[in-house]
Structures are given as C-alpha cells and as structure tokens.
C-alpha cells in the first residue's frame, strides 16, 4: 500500500478517481494492463466508469465519501475539474492527489485563470470582469462588439455563455446569466482552434503530443486532427505549457485550448485533466494521454507522445452512427462509452488512422457521409 511518497515505483496499486464518466473509464481501460485497479466516486449509480472498476456512489461535496475513497487507494486523481477544491484538499490530507488541489482550483474560475496566465506572460483574449449591469456596459465600451459573456464558474462545452453581437443582445444576455459572477471576453476571429495536451512526471519531465486542430459546433468539440501545424507553433504552445506546468508544480496530463489568430496563440482555457481533444492518442500515438496520466501519477516512466499514424477523431454527441457501416472503413477505431443516448451528451467517439494525410481525408469523407448531420460540412473546415 501507499507510503508517504505514494506508490512504490514499479509496483501496481489502486487508483482512486473523482468522477466516473468516460474520461475515468478510459483512464481505467489504460491502467488495467499496467496492473492497476480502480475505485471511482460519482453521484450517478450508472456512471460508465463503473464497468472498469469499483464505484462509490456519492456527491463530490460529500466529505465522508471522499475520505472513504482516500483511505482505500494508493493515489487519487480526477476526471472532472469542477470537484470542489475543499474535497480535493480533504483527499490530499490522506493520500497523494495528482494533479494537486492548487492546480484543480487554478482553472475553476475563468477570471482567476486569465489573471494567472497573464501573470505568467501567457496571452489571453482581452477580458473584463462583470458583476453588475454597469460593469457590462463598461466592458462593452472597452472591448466592443461582438463579445462573449461567460459565467466565471462551472461553464463547459459552451454552457453558461451568451454571444453579444450588438447592443440589442445586451439585456437578453444579462437576463440569462446576470445571477452569476461573469467575465466578458472579446470575440476572437480565430483562423483555427487548437489544443495542446501534455504530461508532466513527478520528476518534472514534460512531454507534449502534437498540437491538435479542433472544430467545435454549438460550443462542443466535433473533430480533432493532430499533426497539421508547423514546428514553430508547436514550440510556441509547448513553451506556454511548460511555464504553466512548472508554475503549478503539476503532475499528470494538462490541456490548454488555444485560438490561433495572426500567427499568435491566445489561451481560451486550460483543463487540469485528460481531454476530449486528446482521445486520438489512444489509437494514433505511441502512448495515450490516459496511459501517460496513469504513469505520471504512479511515478512510472512516461511513454512516447509521437504520432504513430495520421489520425482524426469524430466525437459522437447524442447519437452514434451505424457501427456496422463505420467498421467497414479500414483504420477505424470505435469507442462506445456505454452511456444512454441523450441530446447533447458525449456518448462515444471514433478515431480514423491512416499512413498519409490524403488517405486519412478519403476515409474521413466516408465516415462523415455515414455519420451525416453537420459532419460533411465540418470536415471541409478542418482540412482546409
Ligand atoms: P469554452 O466553453 O470557453 O471553451 O467555449 C466553447 C467554444 O466557444 C470555443 O471552443 C469557441 O469555439 C467558442 N468561443 C469561446 N470563447 C470565444 C471567444 N472569446 N472568441 C471566439 N470564440 C469563442
């Protein structure tokens, strides 16, 4: 079992995960072959990670449940960044928690997150804190239209946001979000959205996967394509990542989402965890984000982050396309999270792999046709 330094290097053990969604499930699927077992904590009795480990059904603010998890595992982590910082601190007082509570807290408030990045010399979109109608007017005077009003806490996948195109939208946005603390951001006319997923070991070694181009629709990630940006951009992104990871004395996988505009990378947000835009690493990289997160928190050597083939990930939101038809495409890797379908819910993804970008694009056209909906149109934007 655990000693003060955490797991005995090289020895398998039990990993606790706060959150039992698809990210926890994929952490489990990556950690089981390394010999680890998993204990998840999630409010839902049918949390989909429950099929790859044991499950404590409890809320994230339940201190008794957090203590129970901490007492039963060698090391703990999370698959969900909105775990209350107090719960993370309670766990940390009993067993090692990676990333640590300070890193979890750093990204939970959009305004504090932007202030931290700015202090570290990392550029973010111009923003203005808003807690009153007067602040909103001041912010719009300063930033102009269009602008995006966002809740400071608990927003994700475009939730808790309102786009203000002109003064007509102001009152509607205030009615929708005015009950929360807010931040107003300048709307960035980006050329592309991209993300960097990286891992830092307990010894401070940092490895980053290739920068990944992302296409969103209605605030939700739909497509991720790694390996299409040049080395200069990769180095720029990795420099920002290293500054943040070192400042937080981070252990595990961290993701930064960027807007690419005029050759610059502005940070939209960071997530102290494995990320949807890194799912392609399961099938397209030497070592996946999930396996490397497990390796990092267990104090094991990190695996390679290079691409083994060209990859493209399709995210299945609310419904999955016909599996039998999709599996006819060679190089298709299917991931069903075993969650019941509901509009807007992430229920699975598929990654296509191919030896060349041309081959990948041809396969992607086939898969987009099978998936239907907006996929054929979105595909055109990612390969342009
Ligand atoms: P978020 O929940 O902050 O990651 O936002 C979801 C999506 O909304 C992003 O991936 C972008 O596509 C879009 N978005 C958010 N903030 C901005 C911004 N300041 N300028 C332009 N688009 C944005």
pLDDT string in tens for the chain (384-residue length): 334 434 444 446 999 999 999 999 999 999 999 999 999 999 999 999 999 999 999 999 998 899 999 999 999 999 988 899 889 988 999 999 999 999 988 888 999 999 999 999 999 999 999 999 999 999 999 999 999 999 999 876 667 899 999 999 999 999 999 888 999 999 999 999 999 999 999 999 999 999 999 999 988 999 999 999 999 999 999 999 999 999 999 999 999 999 999 999 999 999 999 999 999 999 999 999 999 999 999 999 999 999 999 999 999 999 999 999 999 999 999 999 999 999 999 999 999 999 999 999 999 999 999 999 999 999 999 987
- Where is 55: in which H helix or E strand? strand 54-57
Question: pLDDT tens digit string along 196-250?
Answer: 999 999 999 999 999 999 999 988 999 999 999 999 999 999 999 999 999 999 9
Is residue 118 domain-resident? Answer: no
Ligand 1 center to 27 CA (angstroms): 27
Tell me, what's the pLDDT at 154? Answer: 81
Q: Are residues 239 and 334 in the same domain?
A: yes
Q: Looking at the 3D structure of the chain, how many domains does it have?
A: 3
125 lines ligand 1 (CB under 6 A): yes
Q: Are residues 268 and 343 in the same domain?
A: yes
In sequence order, the 6+-apart residues with CB closer than 8 A to the CB of 162 are 148, 149, 169, 172, 173, 176, 177
What is the sign of the dihedral through the CA atoms of 268, 271, 272 and 278?
negative
Pocket lining: 185 vs ligand 1, CB cutoff 6 Å: yes
- 225, 332: one domain: yes
Contacts of 372-376 spanning 24+ positions with Cβ under 8 A: 372/321, 374/217, 374/222, 375/222, 375/223, 375/314
Q: Would the CA dihedral through 235, 239, 241, 245 be positive or negative?
A: positive
What's this model's pTM, rounded to 2 decimal places?
0.94
Give the Cα separation of 193 and 225 in Å (integer).
Answer: 11
**Looking at residue 175, which CATH number applies to its domain?**
3.30.1490.20
Q: Do both 169 and 218 map to the same domain?
A: no
Domain edge (last residue) among 49, 80, 97 = 97
Q: What is the CATH number of the domain that holds 68?
A: 3.40.50.20
Choosing from 118, 151, 186, the residue where a domain stops is: 186
216: CA distance to ligand 1 center in Å?
9
CATH code, 218: 3.30.470.20
The answer to the question of residue 3 being in a domain is no
**pLDDT value at position 107?**
86
| One domain, residues 172 and 263 | no
Site to probe by mutation for ligand 1, drawn from 128, 139, 143, 148 as the one with most ligand atoms within 8 Å of Cβ, is 148
- 234 lies in the same domain as 330: yes
Asked whether residue 272 falls in the same domain as residue 376, the answer is yes
Q: Cα(168)–Cα(261) distance, rounded to whole angstroms?
A: 27
What's the domain range around 92? 10-97
Contact criterion met (CB below 8 Å) for 306 and 286: yes
Backbone angles phi, psi at 138, to 5 degrees: -60, -45
Q: Could you tell me if 209 and 171 lie in one domain?
A: no
Measuring from atom 11 of ligand 1, which residue has the nearest CA?
219
């Amino acid at each position: 079992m655990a000693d003060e330094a955490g797991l005995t290097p090289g020895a398998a053990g039990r990993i606790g995960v706060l959150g039992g969604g698809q990210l926890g499930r994929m952490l489990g699927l990556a950690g089981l072959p390394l010999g680890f077992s998993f204990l998840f904590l999630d409010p839902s009795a049918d949390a989909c990670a429950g099929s790859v480990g044991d499950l404590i059904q409890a809320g994230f603010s339940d201190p008794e449940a957090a203590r129970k998890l901490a007492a039963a595992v060698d090391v703990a982590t999370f698959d969900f960044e909105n775990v209350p910082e107090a719960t993370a601190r309670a766990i940390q007082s009993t067993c090692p928690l990676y990333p640590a509570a300070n890193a979890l807290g750093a990204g939970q408030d959009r305004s504090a997150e932007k202030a931290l990045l700015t202090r570290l010399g990392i550029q973010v979109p111009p923003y203005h804190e808003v807690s009153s109608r007067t602040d909103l007017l001041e912010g719009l005077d300063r930033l102009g239209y269009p602008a995006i009003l966002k809740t400071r806490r608990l927003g994700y996948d475009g939730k808790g946001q309102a786009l203000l195109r002109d003064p007509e939208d102001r009152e509607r946005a205030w009615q929708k979000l005015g009950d929360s603390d807010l931040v107003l951001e300048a709307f960035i006319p980006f050329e592309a959205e991209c993300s960097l997923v990286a891992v830092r070991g307990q010894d401070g070694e940092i490895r980053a996967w290739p920068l990944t181009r992302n296409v969103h629709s209605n605030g939700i990630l739909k497509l991720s394509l790694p390996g299409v940006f040049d080395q200069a951009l990769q180095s720029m992104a990795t420099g920002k990542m290293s500054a943040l990871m070192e400042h937080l004395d981070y252990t595990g996988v961290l993701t930064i989402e960027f807007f690419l505009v005029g050759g610059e990378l502005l940070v939209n947000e960071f997530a102290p965890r494995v990320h949807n835009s890194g799912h392609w690493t399961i099938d397209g990289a030497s070592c996946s984000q999930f396996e490397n997160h497990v390796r990092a928190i267990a104090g094991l050597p990190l695996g390679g982050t290079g691409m083994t083939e060209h990859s493209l990930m399709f995210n299945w939101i609310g419904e999955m396309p016909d599996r039998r038809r999709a599996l006819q495409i060679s190089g298709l890797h299917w991931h069903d999270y075993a969650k019941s379908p509901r509009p807007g819910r992430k229920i699975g993804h598929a990654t296509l792999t191919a030896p060349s970008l041309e081959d990948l694009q041809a396969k992607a056209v086939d898969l987009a046709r099978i998936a239907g909906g907006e996929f054929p149109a979105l595909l055109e934007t990612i390969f342009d």
